[in-house]
Structure 1
Amino acid sequence: MAIHNFLRRNSETDRDFIEAQSEGTIDEDNHDEAGQSEGESNPVQAVGRAASKRRRWEVGDVIKVSGEVAAPAEAPLPARSGEILGSGDYFVRVGLGTPARELSLIFDTGSDLTWTQCLPCDGSCYTQNDTIFDPSHSSSYSNIPCSSSQCSQLSSAGIEQKCSASPDGCTYGIKYGDGSTSTGNLANETLTITQTDVVDNFLFGCGHDNEGLFNGTAGLLGLGRNAISFVQQTSDMFHRIFSYCIPSTASEVGYLTFGGVPASDNIIYTPFSSIPQSPSFYALDLTGISLAGSSLSIPSSVFSSVGVIIDSGTVLTWLPPAAYGPLRDAFRNAMSKYPMAGSFDELDTCYDLSGYGSVVVPKVTLSFGGGVNVDLDASGVVYVVSETQVCLAFATDEDLVDIAILGNVQQKTIEVVYDVGGGRIGFRPASCGGNK
């Protein structure tokens, strides 16, 4: 959610038109877009029954076993496409408060503050699928006073901080790159991640005035690098390790896992780089792009002169014009046998596939520092607009002079492993998919 949040509103488009194959073939097929089953297990409702087995941490605790720092706990969550709620992002279900109220939160590596809509709506509350959280019904909720060091941390995350002598205490105001906003109280609350993983005194935003393209979800789970992020607040619990896999279609289920150490088989790691002016972002050293096995003619200075970030909360990959141009031209050449269609929003390379039962999509490979090459799934190369139209799922903007963004479309089916403490990020292909 750092810069762009493209096409969240297109929830009715049947993205399941794509059946991505490893060889880059798209086969036309019809699927029902999946919603959440009424019989789906509820991790929060079961908390009371599993209370004797659950782990509880307070933010800042150091957990040790026999004098040694404990191995990170592992907390897996199903990750679903926001298309079933009207969003282009991906969400997980967590519990907030005592008793826990289950909420759908977009997981966002491009921002830090976790927040949800709260009653009363003092300004504007958008429509969400879950009942809006009411802090007056939670026995564990408390506002953060202005004198708290937690209040002063907001400015380090680029979030507006205001203070009041009233009981409301510290308030926040955050604005995202797409113009979406949230304003409310900074507070502590109990966060239930799974039946067995509960975090006390979790710092979050209780948003009383929220506007923008959050479409149906209850808010955001901030996974950035700042001290107020979920990753940093639970560092003693999960050791700043998390991974996710975004499925290729809306009817499939991926995962978001905190803690644990993924098996190293087939995972390739590249070190994080840095963007001094934006230290909260996960920056990568993108060194080149290949299409159909051929390296594109992009000067190395194009990527070395801009910051490249990976962001689960941005839909498309946004490239500077000097990188996007060669990719677009090579893609058009490889797809020349298919008739072109008109552009779609920011996507200028689209095709009319009426009458085609299958389509061969050229392989796109991204190269990163350390000699790491990541092949994108076919579903990460094209964006399905309708049953007859697809577009190259990359875009550019003349204003992108100092940053490029690797969005969630390009990350589909790849397990992305964030080893924040180790200063590296890993990729493992073909790690999720199928109706689960």
Structure 2
Amino acid sequence: MATYSYLFLALLFSSLCNRSMVLSSNMDSHDLARVQPLAPLPAWACSSKESKREGLKIIHRYGPCSPFDGQRATPIQILQQDQSRVTRLQSRLTRASSRVDVQDTTLPARPGTAVETGDYIVTVGFGTPPRDMTLVFDTGSDLTWIQCQPCSGGCYEQQYPIFNPTDSSSYLNLSCNSAVCSQLSLSNGCSSSTCVYSTGYGDGSKSIGFFAHDTLSLTQSDVFPNFLFGCGQQSNGLFGKAAGLLGLGRESVSLISQTATKFGRVFSYCLPSSPSSPGYLTFGTDAIPSTVKFTPLVTDPNNPSFYFLNMIGISVKGQALPIPASTLASPGTIIDSGTVITRLPSSAYAALRLAFQQEMMNYKSVSSPSSVLDTCYELGGSEALSVPPIVLHFEGDVDVNLDYSGIIYEMRAVGCLAFAGNEDNGELTIIGNKQQLKLDVVYDVGGRKVGFGPGGCR
């Protein structure tokens, strides 16, 4: 989940004192194609099929493979959460320079308050000896943090025991006079000469605690001593019973920057094609498929953590939509692992919807079960809809052909166009994770490029 850049300094817990590309669909892109998805597993079944890729296994936190007991959500609930995330992202990006008067800030002691984080989780090891921690991973955040005992300010419920720093022989809090503490944008100050961090989210949810370092184990061979992270003493927000968050943004404190010496600031993922299947998250250049095509990575000085791309057009059934280049160019496009449904400028979405509707006239149009999506059709039993091919075009002659799962969002007996429009053309375009399914997505931060390739998760 993306974090606000402003600081939250008022700490209510007693132990802390205030201070402070192409996806090949095997079909002619100019023809309607009956795209039949693979037969899904039963809702209760978790696939035993393993990805052939090395790296961290990605699991959908609401799927049957999730380790979180009782954490399930309907497609409609997921869309409601998604809209909340998008609202916060848009707010952060349009008010990047906003700051809060810390004297007027209060932290509600409400552990367990719902907060909408990303849908995908990975498990890594913290400490010596390593303790497994299952975290939400998020390309829209930088700081990695986990809940830590004694949780003096209150913590939300998580699935497995909360990390105890005293059990790790390599754990160390950072002092207030350390260079890292003084440079940390999320640093709020000190408690008994110990550096304190505070990171807040748009709905008021927060994580506050000690800024520390310990050993991070991604795999048995990828071990990083002195990894900087937040050891949370107060956290409010139900993060899907995860232990915390893994930050994959671009800033210096992110996992990508801290492991740059070994991995060259390169990582890639394939999101699982269904909640019943695993995906993967890998680091370094060795695992990049030769089929990946790259588009330039853009930096917004006001929002340096986000991954901006230049999307230059959209095609439906081989026909470019009449979208002026300026509509997509400003305020720009980001790719985000935590947003589900792609959001487009209002006029761009209107053009996409019209072209899609014209190709779907043989299907019965129905009302949407969700306010997020507005172009829906009745599903005919087990038969998939025949959908027109949709292609997203990016700078560098990169064309991303969407899979059926990136075009249709299914709810009950209804299939909806898996795009939504912003309120106006002045809001950010966001490429959601639904449109990234079955793709290898590669982030070469050092090379300033993002790539897309077919055949992900195989």
Which category of TM-score, normalised to the shorter sequence, fits these structures?
Answer: 0.7 to 0.9
2:188 alignment partner in structure 1:
162
Question: Residue 272 of structure 1: SS of its match in structure 2?
Answer: strand
| Residue 316 to residue 294, structure 1, CA distance change in 2 (3 Å) | same
Please give the per-residue CA displacement for 1:378-399, whole angstroms capped at 9, x wherever unaligned.
111222223x122222223326
Please state whether the residue corresponding to 2:190 is helix, strand or coil.
coil
Partner letter of residue 256 of structure 1? Answer: L
Structure 1 CA distance for aligned equivalents of residues 206 and 345 of structure 2: 26
5+ unaligned residues in a row in structure 2: which ranges?
5-23, 28-33, 72-116
SS state of the match for residue 289, structure 1? strand
Identify which of 331, 350, 353 aligns with 1:325.
350
RMSD value, Cα: 2.7
> Paired residue for 2:276?
251
1:138 equivalent to 2:168? Answer yes
User: Where do 5+ consecutive residues of structure 1 fail to align?
Assistant: 5-19, 42-73
Rate the CA distance shift 1:148–1:402 in 2: closer, same or farther, 3 A. Answer: farther
Which position in structure 2 is the counterpart of 1:31?
41
Show the counterpart of 1:9. none
TM, length-normalised to structure 2: 0.76
- Kept in 1: contact 2:25–2:401 (CA 8 A): no
**1:10 corresponds to:** none
2:285 alignment partner, one of 249, 260, 273 = 260
1:242/1:418 contact within 8 Å kept: yes
Indicate how the Cα distance of structure 1 residues 213 and 316 shifts in structure 2: closer, same or farther if over 3 A, else same.
Answer: farther
Equivalence for 1:118: 148
Q: Which residue of 2 aligns with 1:308?
A: 333
Instruction: Find 1:370's aligned residue among 385, 393, 396.
Output: 396
Q: Contact between 1:349 and 1:392, CA under 8 Å: does it hold in 2? A: yes
- Within the candidate set 411, 414, 425, 2:436 is matched to 411
Change in CA separation of 1:34 and 1:188 when aligned onto 2, cut-off 3 Å: farther
Aligned length: 379
Mapped contact 1:180–1:213 kept (Cα < 8 A): no
The residue number in structure 1 matching 2:110 is none
Using the aligned pairs only, state the percent identity.
Answer: 47
1:96 maps onto 2:115 in alignment: no
In the superposition, the TM-score normalised over structure 1's length comes to 0.80
CA drift of 1:431 comes to 1.7
Deviations 1:242-270 (A, max 9, x none): 11111210111111111133455221111
Contact 2:123 2:132 in 1 (8 A): yes
Gap change, CA 1:90 and 1:275, over 3 Å in 2: same
CA 1:385–1:153 in structure 2 vs 1: closer, same or farther (change >3 Å)? farther
Structure 2 residue aligned with 1:336, among 343, 361, 386?
A: 361
In terms of fraction of residues, the more strand-rich structure is: 1
Q: How does 1:10-25 map to 2 (within 5 A)?
A: 25=35
Q: 1:253-310 CA distances to partner (integer Å, 9 max, x unpaired)? A: 1111111334552211111122121111111011011112111111111111112111
The equivalent position to 2:454 in structure 1, one of 419, 429, 436, is 429
Q: Secondary structure at the match of 1:330?
A: helix
- Out of 57, 81, 86, the residue aligned to residue 78 of structure 1 is 57
The equivalent of 2:91 in structure 1 is: none
Instruction: Give distance in 2, aligned partners of 1:102 and 1:174.
Output: 23
The residue number in structure 2 matching 1:59 is none
Please name the residue that 1:150 is paired with. Answer: 180
Alignment of 1:253-292 (within 5 A): 253-263=278-288, 265-292=290-317
The whole-number CA distance in structure 1 between the counterparts of 2:380 and 2:414 is 8
Report which stretch shifted further, 291-300 or 177-186: 177-186
Please give the alpha-carbon distance, in whole angstroms, between the structure 2 residues aligned to 1:22 and 1:273.
Answer: 31
Superposition deviation, residue 359 in structure 1? 1.5
TM-aligned CA distance change 1:170 to 1:247, over 3 Å? same
Shift of 1:346: 1.6
